[in-house]
Each structure stands twice: as structure tokens, then as C-alpha cells.
Copies of this chain bind each other. A is one copy, B any other.
Amino acid sequence: MTAPFPVRFTLEHVCRQSGARAGRMETPHGTILTPAFMPVGTQATVKAMSPDELKQLGAGIILANTYHLWMRPGSDLVREAGGLHRFMSWDRAILTDSGGFQVFSLSDPKRITEEGVGFTSHIDGSRHILTPEKSIQVQNDLGADIIMAFDECTPWPAEKDYAQRSLERTTRWLERCLEAHQRPGDQALFGIVQGSTYADLRRQSARAVTAFDLPGYAIGGLSVGEPGPEMQAMLEETVPLLPDNRPRYLMGVGSPDYLVDGALRGIDLFDCVLPTRMGRNGTVLTSEGRLIVRDARYARDFAPLDKACSCPVCQTFSRAYIRHLIKAREILGLRLTSWHNLHFLVHLMEQVRAAILADRLADFRAEFFDAYGYTRGKS
């Protein structure tokens, strides 16, 4: 008999209007109501935010990047600190990625073999090799509640032949990850479905990955440049092959429309740097669409970023003040736009969940897209 998984998912409700689902994911650091958006804290901090503020806006789980923390400050240091939760003073749940995506995207040159990926550090130019075993060892050191299998996020576009060889290697790497995992009782290892934008490869990958009984499954390699409809089509191929009683995580997806449409297709978890990165560039998400608050037109606009928003930023500060802060390169400006944007996405997922529980997610989608401006061609 195997020990129970440290992360357990309970399906609470399936929306009768859309087929979307609401659930509850229990972790060693609290319960997350799904669908949920996970803010990204690449270097053991969600950029510009404090742990208290993340709690205030309702984040139950954040993501941290294994590659960055391995390179700096080093996973041995984090382990010595008592793990990532204690190191960064975050007592809710954490998910770490495998480091693979960063090795593939930040490092050049790199060399992929069956063994792993050789790469050069973006910090000091030192040479390293990331393997399934190394990724899991680093993630065991970091101690997140959810850890991810080492995969290749197949670049888009990819030749079908390459995409197939890539996903098959990813499956073999998954087996090595499971073998290497030293803390299966504390940390839930999720597998990742790849297959690029080929429906049959997605199905092949989903079948291969779900052949392993894992506490959760992710869909990777989407939102990497392919057209939106192709992404949705791949979700429709993949999701039905994933077990109902396990959480489903769509990696790296964070724009409001993709979140709503992902939930609609049965996704439970999302993550993206979009809200914080966009915020630092002076753009905010509002119920009426994106607003570039650094624009001159808001210089004397004393309204909040979003009149419909309940976040402390919108309760306290004006567009004119936030624009001033951003123009004057003041840190508080980046804090306020990041806070508001994260609140927006976390709160959007709460609304999506409420709509699922009320069996009206399709209606909610139509209302939201109309107000946000997607139906008028805005992005």
C-alpha cells in the first residue's frame, strides 16, 4: 500500500452550463479553492510584493522558479534556512517548476541529450547540466508543496517529428524524476503533458503521463506563441484524458481571457508573470480592459484604477497619483500596479469559481468578455 499523496484534490462541482469545475486542493500549507491563479515569485519573492500583501489579496499558493533559486542563492542555502517557506516567510502553499523552461529559454548555448540539458548560468557564465535527478534534488531542497517533473517545453512551432521525440523523452524523464524523488510524502510531484499543437501527440502524451498515478497533472508547451484557438483546441484534446480526481495545471497562462477560457475547459490552476510584469510597465487590468496608466491622458484623472475594484490600491490611490509615481520612477508605483493586477486575477478566479458553483460560467464569460472589451476586439 502506498502512502496518500501530500496534495489531495476534491472535485466539488461541475458547472451544468459549461462543464467547468470547482474544486478544493489540500496541501501541507493550506487549502486552495479552485480554479485559482498562482502569482509567480521567481526569486523567492513575488516582485514588488510582500508575503502579507499576497495573503491580503487572497493568494493561497505561489510559484517559485527552481532554476533561479538553484543559481542564486543556491538550494543548499535555502534548505539550510529550513526550506523555501521559512526562507521567504510564506506559510501558504508553494509550487516550484522544474527549471527546465528557464534553462531552455534563458541559456544560450544549450545542449539537449537524453541525460539532460547542458547550459551556461545567466548570472556568472558557469557551466551546468540540469537532469531529471538534479531538478528533483534541487526541488527537494527547496521543499515546495508541489514540484514539477523535468520536461522539455517544446518550442513553437515544432516539426511533428521533433515534437514527438521531445514528448517521449519528457515521459522517460518523468520516470527518472519519480525514481529520484526523496520526499514523496511531503511534496507532490506533478507530471506534464507536452505534444506541441498536434492533437494526436497531445493525446499520446496525456495517455503516457497519466499511466503514472500522480497527485496532479500539468499541461505545458501552450501559450508559447501559437494562435489562441490552437491552444484552446489542444486543451479540448488533452483535458478529457486527465483523471477527474486530480488537479490540472495549465502552465504559464495568465491573461484574463485565457484564464476564463482555461477554467471553462476544466483547468484548475494557472500561473503567469503577466500581472506583475505588466504592472511594472505601467499597465493595469481593469473590468473594462487594459489601461496604460502611464499615459498622459491619466495625468489629471483622480479616479481609481478600476471603479469596480475592491482592492486597497483602488480604495486609496488615484490614477493621477500612480501615473506620477511611475513617471517619477518611484518604487511605490510598481508596488501599487503589481498589487492591483494580482488582486484582479486572483479575484477573477474567485468570480469564475462562484459562476461555476452557480452553473453559469458561460454567461459569466460572455458578460466578462463584453465588459473587458474582448468582444469588441480589444486585447
Contacts and interface: CB of A to CB of B under 8 A. Distances in A.
Interface of A: 43-45, 47-51, 68, 72-73, 77, 80-81, 87-89, 299-300, 302, 316-318, 320-321, 324-325, 327-328, 330-332, 334-335
Given A299-B77, A300-B80, A50 B321 contact: no
Chain multiplicity (copies):
2
Given A73-B320, A81-B320, A320-B81, A330 B47 contact: yes
Given A77-B299, A335-B50, A321 B72 contact: no
B300 A332 contact: no
A43 B316 contact: no
Contacts of A330: 43, 45, 47
Nearest to A280: B331
A198 to B, nearest CB: 38
A332 B80 contact: no
A299 to B, nearest CB: 7
A89 B48 contact: no
Given A47-B332, A73-B324, A81-B321, 9 more contacts: A43-B325, A45-B325, A45-B330, A48-B332, A77-B299, A77-B320, A89-B317, A331-B331, A331-B335
A49 B332 CA distance: 6
A248 B317 CA distance: 33
Given A45-B330, A332-B50, A334-B331, A324 B72 contact: yes
A50 B331 CA distance: 10
A91 to B, nearest CB: 11
A335 B331 CA distance: 9
B318 A81 contact: yes
